Amino acid sequence: MKTLLCICCLVTVISSAYSQDLTTLMPTPKAVYQYQDIEYFYLQTEQVVAVPDTVTPGVRKAVNYFQREMRRRVQKVFTEVTLSYYVLSMQPKKYALVFVPMSNQFAHTFTSRLLNRIESVSAKTGSYILDVRQSEMVIFYDSDEGAFNAVSTLLQLLSRDKFFNPQFFACHIWDEPDYPLRWMFSQHNLLVDQSITNLTALADTMAKYKLNGIQQNDYKYNILDRMFDRYWNNVDTFKARCAERMIDVIPGVCGIGWSDGILQHDPNLAEGVFTQTTYVIESDTGRVIPDARVVLPNGDFETVNLQGAFTGWGFYDESFTPDKTIFRSGKTSAHAVNIRDKNSAGNARFQRKVQCTPYGYYVMSAYIKTNNLNGGSFNLLAIGDDGKGKSRSLTFTALSLPATTNGWQRVEVCFNTLEFINVLLYCGVWDAPNIGEFWIDDFTIQPAGLTNILRRGGTPLHIRNKNTGVEYSEFDDFARLHDTLMEKSFGTYGPYHTAPTLRRLANGALRNGDSVVVSYFHPFTAVSDNQGNGSVMVCVSEDTLHSILTDQVTRVNNLYHAKNYFMGHDEIRNMNRDSACLQHKQSPAELLAANLRSCDSIINRIAPTSQRFVWSDMFDSLHNAGPIYQPYYLVNGNLSGDWNMIPKNITIVNWNGGEMSKSLSFFADKGFRQVTSPYYDAGNATGIRNWRLAQEGIYNIDGMMYTTWAADYSQLRPFAYYAWSAGPYIFHRPPDSLEQQATEINLTTSVGKDPYNAKDNYYDPTIVIFKTNLSQVERRIYMTQGIPNGPWNGSVPTPQDLDWFRYAIEVKSTNGIYRVTPMYEVWRNRTTSVESESEPITFTVTPNPTEADATVNFSIPQSGQWTLHITDVLGKTIATYSGTTYALQQQTVHLSTAQFATGVYAVTLTNNGNTTTTVLVKE
């Protein structure tokens, strides 16, 4: 008669216990099963935590995390004992949480009790095995992070019964992370106490979901020389909270692109854009001579023809009409309502083309009033036109207006005409809804003059007589010329303010009545807001930059001593325009790559063991450095190819969501390691999932970073799922020793799907059989499903001549993510006892305790060689005995303990790969 045993890990579909406890674990473990005969580990009056005799700092954090949470949740604390005491103690072993490093001498004592005795912790850092039974919970680990992650999972198994008694769900979990780096992006201001409170709450969430790094970007890292005790105290608190939760802090340094933090130290270090303006000297001061062509003759909207149309514009969209009841000045404004009725694109704009002189510097502004206008993009736009078909945007704004302004709001932008002789000027809204209305008034343009003039060696000032070409000297012919308001602005350059005055000196060559051409450099602000503030780039060619960054990295390193540093090269919108850069006669690609190498070198010198990271966009052929993006904003020249000039040891943090698959392959093919940067405030997990699927199979992906620019951390839970696991998770209990003797073993499994994607599915689970060569598959058995959504079954025939085999269960999702359980082992033709075959029939030490000699009596279940080791509590071998015997034959070994010091010793018996340990106490 054929024996058939069914190895069930689930009842029907998934039992209610799984629904309550195992299927809700997040992130989902790779392989898990429920013990059939027990349900819970109950907390008792006396509990112990057994820790290694030598506890590493990370394991101490894991133990403290468990104790802290137990105190908080159930008002209980476990008594701590050493692992050697726990193993060797003659007291009953119960109600314990045991931390077992896989390298520990007692590890086999615990692994021999598992259903799958060959099971081991994955080689990936952060992996663990968690085994929860009725009287003992065991954590196996190879790394500190693995121990902490196991505690994180264990705490999710904590619940209360109907009498409100705390309990842990009994199960076995084998788990490993897909990626070692699972980070969260932060821009919290650490000077603010509430930020520390918020970060602590986020750190708790991260610990729960196994996230292990905060990429922290406090603006104060740029100005640590100005900080004070409250800041240092908050940073210490932040570091302590992260350390307690095994969370690394990855500080952001070297803000190249969004450089206002660097420019705090010297606003004149902004990358300069050349301009020249004509002045006439009157009453010892200079007055700008404006270009009469650069005007908006009806920017006040006062002139309307007989047909009721505004005059003086190249065009304006049909939704505008004159409004003589609501205006800011004069008697008329431009009013737009029912915008999409007149323009299907939702555009409502005024435009005028004017001729101009190249490299003119202007400020353009307007006043806007809105009413119930939810949506659309307001813009002040200048587009350069060379008259030969070449054009270029000269302004890049991020204006923000409420749906209802309750009055008039001024918006402005400064721009340079660059090499263009014509400029198209726009004011209005793009992509507006049909509901709501707005008004424009006092749309103006004027020369910006010497506002924000940059004064340093790389931005020279020249003043020449317009008629004779004679150049005048500062301090001799005219007074020192600099913008004191800008220099006090600490790295911001808006709003537009009155320009500094050009003043002639009485004894100089500059005379009243002279017309002069003033050439100088000013900063460029991209993504500018209503007041003209936004992204300003620092000049990468000034030596002062190197000293500022060296000081910053030194101070930040003294603060954190971090393992990783994040370089802020990102969205660099102005480069290679001032003399400091142009003198090198290099491309922007060469200049940027040189700067990144310099920043990398600074960090490497100060923190030589650290790893460096950088944003992807400025080194990506499919993003801001790519050919289709050139010219990029006001960058003078081409950035393409810079990816070939930067060190391969720098990890790329990839945020190219538009071309994620191609971009990931691009950097992988170049030999870079990568971390992906999903989320970007989408409000759902779709983008995170898309990144996770895109990076599947890409070489050298080290992890993912949850990236929010709006402090929206609502999707951390799904992010943790995709960063740790994703894909199918497998419920399967391997057969015990009795079940292994069946002539046909029916293996059962259930598979969990992506909880954040209703369309997710998987291919049929498969039993993979290994026999003679464990690196090669002997055969595959495809499992079948008896009922829809039910468990999967597969039968493994076991003929009498089959002594043993190993197997794993593999599943692949329809998204292409492959999962496989650890390898399980089946032994045939051995004892049919359900007890562990590793246990000897007898094993005693008498007398115990002893003051002199002792005797060890034992018998073993299999014929063969045996070895007896006597070790002290530190694992040092004191004595070794060995021999051979037949199965079940009684053996006696006499121990001479006279040379033993007083203390506790482990007596370990090994036979045929099976090990058991008892204790000997020498008095």
Mean pLDDT for the chain overall: 91
412 pLDDT more than 90: yes
The strand ranges marked E within 486-631 are 515-522, 525-526, 535-536, 564-567, 611-615
> According to the model, what pLDDT value does residue 828 have?
67
Amino acid at position 231, single letter: Y
CATH of domain 272-536: 2.60.120.260
Kindly report which listed range (182-186, 547-551, 876-880) carries the lowest average pLDDT score: 876-880
Percent of the chain with pLDDT over 70: 93
pLDDT tier for residue 800 given thresholds of 50, 70 and 90: low
14 pLDDT more than 60: no
Cβ 905 vs Cβ 872: under 8 Å: yes
Give the residue with greater pLDDT, 185 vs 871. 185
Average pLDDT over residues 494-520: 97
Dihedral sign of CA atoms 229, 234, 239, 245 in order: positive
782 pLDDT more than 70: yes
What the block records as the tokens of 609 is 């063991």
Distance CA 318, CA 410 (A): 24
pLDDT tier for residue 906 given thresholds of 50, 70 and 90: confident
Average pLDDT over residues 270-299: 98
815 pLDDT more than 90: no
> According to the model, what pLDDT value does residue 5 have?
41
Kindly report which listed range (337-341, 344-348, 749-753, 771-775) carries the lowest average pLDDT score: 771-775
Please provide the distance, in angstroms rounded to a whole number, between the alpha carbons at the two ends of the chain.
Answer: 58
Q: Is the domain defined by 842-922 classed in CATH 2.60.40.1180?
A: no
> According to the model, what pLDDT value does residue 461 have?
99
> According to the model, what pLDDT value does residue 917 have?
76
Distance CA 110, CA 839 (A): 12
Average pLDDT over residues 799-807: 74
82 pLDDT more than 80: yes
> According to the model, what pLDDT value does residue 211 have?
99
Which residues are within 8 A (CB) of 871 and not within 5 positions of it... i.e. 6 or more apart? 105, 877, 878, 905, 906, 908
Record the pTM.
0.88
pLDDT per residue as tens digits for the range 108-127:
888 878 888 778 899 999 99
pLDDT per residue as tens digits for the range 608-619:
999 999 999 999
Amino acid at position 73, single letter: R
Average pLDDT over residues 796-820: 84
pLDDT per residue as tens digits for the range 661-714:
999 999 999 999 999 999 999 999 999 999 999 999 999 999 999 999 999 999
Kindly report which listed range (81-90, 387-396, 438-447, 450-459) carries the lowest average pLDDT score: 81-90
pLDDT per residue as tens digits for the range 422-434:
999 999 999 999 9
Q: Which H or E element spans position 33?
A: strand 31-34
Residue ranges of the domains in the chain?
29-177, 188-265+538-659, 272-536, 842-922
605 pLDDT more than 60: yes
Kindly report which listed range (345-354, 570-579, 891-900) carries the lowest average pLDDT score: 891-900
Return phi, psi of residue 461, to 5°: -105, 130
Distance CA 869, CA 892 (A): 14
Radius of gyration of the chain from its Cα atoms, rounded to whole angstroms: 37
827 pLDDT more than 70: yes
Average pLDDT over residues 436-446: 98
pLDDT per residue as tens digits for the range 166-209:
899 999 999 999 999 999 999 999 999 999 999 999 999 999 99
> According to the model, what pLDDT value does residue 375 have?
93
Which residues are within 8 A (CB) of 831 and not within 5 positions of it... i.e. 6 or more apart? 737, 837, 861
Q: Which H or E element spans position 717?
A: helix 716-724
Distance CA 407, CA 398 (A): 20
CATH classification for the domain delimited by 188-265+538-659, as one of 3.30.1360.40, 3.90.1150.10, 3.40.50.300, 3.20.20.80:
3.20.20.80
pLDDT tier for residue 892 given thresholds of 50, 70 and 90: confident
330: number of CA atoms within 13 Å, CB side?
18
For residue 173, give the nearest of 233, 121, 230 by alpha carbon: 121
Amino acid at position 361, single letter: Y
pLDDT per residue as tens digits for the range 346-371:
999 999 999 999 999 999 999 999 99
CATH of domain 29-177: 3.30.379.10
> According to the model, what pLDDT value does residue 801 have?
62
Average pLDDT over residues 478-506: 95
Distance CA 441, CA 438 (A): 10
> According to the model, what pLDDT value does residue 829 have?
55
830 pLDDT more than 50: no
> According to the model, what pLDDT value does residue 831 have?
39
